[in-house]
Amino acid sequence: MKKSEKLVARRNAIVPNGMGMFSPLTVTAAKGARLIDVDGRSYIDFAGGIGVLNAGHCPKPVVDAIIRQSRQLIHACFPVAIYEPYVALCEKLASVFPHGKSTKVMLTSTGAEAIENAVKIARQATGRPGIICFSGAFHGRTLLGMTLTSKTGYKVGCGPFAPEIYRIPFPDFYKRHDGLTKEDFIDREIRAFKDFFQHTADPNQIAAVLIEIVQGEGGFNVVPEAYLKAIQSICKQFGILLIIDEVQTGFGRTGKWASYEHFGVVPDISTWAKSMGSGMPIGAVIGKAEVMDRTNKGTLGGTYPGNPVACAASLATINYMEEIDICSKGEKVGKSVTNFFRKLKREISAIGDVRGLGAMVAFELVKNQDPNQPDGDLAKALIEKCSKRGLLIISAGIHGNVIRVLSPLVISRKELMQGLNIIREELLALTHEKPKVKRKGAK
Ligand SMILES: Cc1ncc(COP(=O)(O)O)c(C=O)c1O
C-alpha cells in the first residue's frame, strides 16, 4: 500500500463523513505552484488551496516574517492587549483598498467570519435586519455563512437557518438569457431586483445587498457591470449598504487588487481572506469609517482574529505582492488561460461556456450544448484523470460541472501550459473528440 493510500485510509477512519473531499490527493510540502504528496510525487497546483495562494506556496518573505513574529509574540488577543502588527495591517489594507474619504478595518481569522461581521456591522449601522444575497452565492460554512450560501448540497440537514436572509436570482446570462440580448437581459434583471421590494420585502427593512463580483464556488459567474452599478444606485436611493465579498476574488486574482476596481464601484463594506495571508488564517472587513463606526462597543472581537503571526504573514504577503506586481501576473495568467480555454471550446462541444475575470477563469461542461443540462460526471472524471497525470484541479458550480483555475499567480509559463495541455488531452480522450486546433507543446 502506498503512503498516500494509508493516509487516506487513516483520514477516513477518524474524520467525520461530512468533511468535504475535492480530491484524494495528499500533500506534505509545497513551493511556488508545485505540491509534493506523501509518496514524493510532484503535482502542478491549479487549485491554490481554493484561491489562497496567489503569491505561491511558502514565499520566502512570508516564511521569514512568520518565523520572526513567532519568536517575538504568538498571541495576546487584540481586545486584551494592543499589538502593532494588527494596527499596521489595518493601515496597510486601508491604503490599498480605500473606501471613500475615510476607511476603517477590522481583522478576522476566516472569510466566513468576515462575512458574519460585515452583516453585524451593516445591521447596526442601518438599524435594519434584512440582507439580500444571490443564487449561486457562497459566503462560508458558519450558520449565517451557510444561510447566505446558495448550494443546498452544502447545507443538507443543517437548518434551521438564520432569519431575514433574502435570495434573488444572480444575473447569469449564460443560463438565463432566454434569447434576450445582453442589454435586454440586464434591464430585465434590474426590473426584477426592483420588483423584489414590491413582492417580498420593504426596502426600509433591508440593511445590505451582499454580492460577489465573480461568484467563486458558484462557477465563476461574473456580474454584469451595468447591473452592479444599477444595484448600487438603488441601494443608495433606499439607504441600503452594498457589501462586496472579495474573499476569493481579491489580491490580484482578477488582475486587480480588488475585483470591484474593474467596474469603478466602491462598496460601503468589503470582506477579505484567502490570499491575504498566503495560507495563514486571516481575513478582514473593510468599510467606510462612518459605517464601520456606527457599531456598539464590544459587538466586534474574538480571541484569535488578527493573531500577530497571521498579521505578520499578511503584511509580508501584501508587500511581496507589491514587489512582484501581483496584478500584472494575474492579468498575464488570465490571458493565457482564457485564450487556451476559448480555443478548447472550439474543439470540444461539451464545453458550453468559457468565462471569468483576470486569472479567475473557468469552463462549464454541459450535455447537448444545453446550458441547462450540466455534466458534473464529466467534470469529476476529468479531475480524476488530471490527478493521475500530476495536475491538481477542482470544480465549482451548483452542479459541480464547472472546471476552474485558481493556480498560484507566480506559476511559470511552462507549468501553466503543461497543466492546460493535460486538461486538453484528458478532455479530448474523455469526450472522444478529435483534436482540431494545432497546439504548441501538446502531444
Ligand atoms: C466568496 C467567498 N466568501 C466567503 C468564503 C468563506 O471563507 P472561509 O472558507 O475562509 O471561511 C469563501 C470560501 O471559499 C468564498 O469563496
pLDDT in tens, 46-103: 999 999 999 999 999 999 999 999 999 999 999 999 999 999 999 999 999 999 999 9
Provide φ and ψ at 299, rounded to 5°: -85, -10
Same structural domain for residues 167 and 116?
yes
Same structural domain for residues 143 and 290?
yes
Same structural domain for residues 149 and 184?
yes
Q: Which single residue is written with the C-alpha cell 414590491?
A: 198
- Ligand 1, pocket-test mutation among 115, 248, 275, 394, most atoms within 8 A of CB: 248
CA 151 to chain centre: 15
With a 6 Å cutoff on the Cβ, whether 246 touches ligand 1 is no
Last-in-domain residue among 307, 324, 341: 324
Last-in-domain residue among 303, 324, 345: 324
Same structural domain for residues 269 and 177?
yes
Last-in-domain residue among 292, 309, 324: 324
Q: What is the mean pLDDT of residues 358-384?
A: 97
For 264, half-sphere exposure in the C-beta direction (CA atoms, 13 angstrom radius) is 3
Ligand 1 center from residue 273 Cα (angstroms): 7
In a domain, 63, yes or no: no
Same structural domain for residues 86 and 178?
yes
Same structural domain for residues 309 and 360?
no
Q: What is the mean pLDDT of residues 368-397?
A: 97
CA nearest ligand 1 atom 7, residue: 111
Sign of CA dihedral 179, 377, 396, 55: negative
Taking only Cα atoms into account, the Rg of the chain, rounded to an integer number of angstroms, comes to 22
In the chain, the percentage of residues whose pLDDT exceeds 70 is 98
Q: Which single residue is written with the C-alpha cell 442601518?
A: 126
1: pLDDT confidence band, cut at 50, 70 and 90? confident
For residue 109, what pLDDT is reported? 98
With a 6 Å cutoff on the Cβ, whether 220 touches ligand 1 is no
Same structural domain for residues 300 and 420?
no
With a 6 Å cutoff on the Cβ, whether 110 touches ligand 1 is yes
- What integer best gives the mean pLDDT of the chain? 97
pLDDT in tens, 276-311: 999 999 999 999 999 999 999 999 999 999 999 999
Q: What is the mean pLDDT of residues 22-31?
A: 93
Would you say the pTM of this structure is higher than 0.95? yes
Q: Which atom belonging to ligand 1 lies closest to the Cα atom of 249?
A: 1
Give alpha helix (H) positions in 97-142: 111-126
For residue 27, give the amino acid letter.
Answer: V
With vertex at residue 313, the alpha carbon angle to CA 296 and CA 327, rounded to the nearest 5 degrees, is 95
Q: What is the mean pLDDT of residues 379-403?
A: 97
Same structural domain for residues 10 and 147?
no
Judged against a pLDDT cut of 70, whether residue 439 lies above it is answered with no
Same structural domain for residues 172 and 51?
no
440: pLDDT confidence band, cut at 50, 70 and 90? low
In a domain, 228, yes or no: yes
With a 6 Å cutoff on the Cβ, whether 408 touches ligand 1 is no
In a domain, 250, yes or no: yes
With a 6 Å cutoff on the Cβ, whether 151 touches ligand 1 is no
Same structural domain for residues 98 and 222?
yes
Q: What is the mean pLDDT of residues 356-375?
A: 97
Same structural domain for residues 214 and 308?
yes
CB atoms within 10 A of CB 183: 10
25: pLDDT confidence band, cut at 50, 70 and 90? very high
Judged against a pLDDT cut of 60, whether residue 441 lies above it is answered with no
For residue 279, give the amino acid letter.
Answer: G
* Structural domain count of the chain: 2
Domain encompassing residue 289: 73-324
Same structural domain for residues 103 and 170?
yes
Ligand 1 center from residue 91 Cα (angstroms): 23
Q: What is the mean pLDDT of residues 410-430?
A: 98
